[in-house]
Amino acid sequence: MRPIIHLVTALALAGSSLTPAMAQTGQPAAPTTGAAGTSPIPELYETGGKTYKTLEECQRAKKRAKARAAIAGAVIAGAATAALGGNVGETALVAGAGALAGRELAKSKNKQC
């Protein structure tokens, strides 16, 4: 009995998440127009909680965030290894791994542009 209830609930939630335009045609709704009715609302791009007017600005900000995360990962991992008594080779190796980890963490966040 319990799985049937879960199935019915899941189907009800999935059906209610469709917008009326998509439920009728299967296509997303057309873009709305501005207040004057002559031009569409400008598209904004978002990344890291900030909004940008152009795609290029958004992509530049995303690229800077990845670079900053890689540098931070390298510095933190290198400093920790050096503080724990690692030699130069170990410190460089761990700093490189920290840079890769920082970059992957920056890429894995949900970003829109």
Residue 70 lies in a domain: yes
Residue 99: inside a domain:
yes
More confident residue, 27 or 18: 27
Q: Which two tokens stand for residue 56?
A: 């290029």
Residue 1: per-residue pLDDT: 46
| Kind plus residue range of the DSSP H or E element containing 46 | strand 45-47
Distance CA 101, CA 74 (A): 9
CA 102 to chain centre: 15
Number of domains in the chain: 1
Residue 47 lies in a domain: yes
Confidence at residue 68, expressed as pLDDT on a 0 to 100 scale: 92
Print the domain residue range for 96: 43-108
Does 2 reside within a domain?
Answer: no
In a domain, residue 33? The reply is no
Rounded mean pLDDT, 22-36 = 52
User: What are 79-103's pLDDT values in tens digits?
Assistant: 999 899 888 999 999 999 999 999 8
Q: Is residue 12 part of a domain?
A: no
Does residue 98 sit within a domain?
yes
How far is it, in rounded angstroms, from Cα 74 to Cα 93? 10
Q: Among 27-41, 44-58, 72-86, which is the least confidently predicted range? A: 27-41
Q: Is 24 a domain residue?
A: no
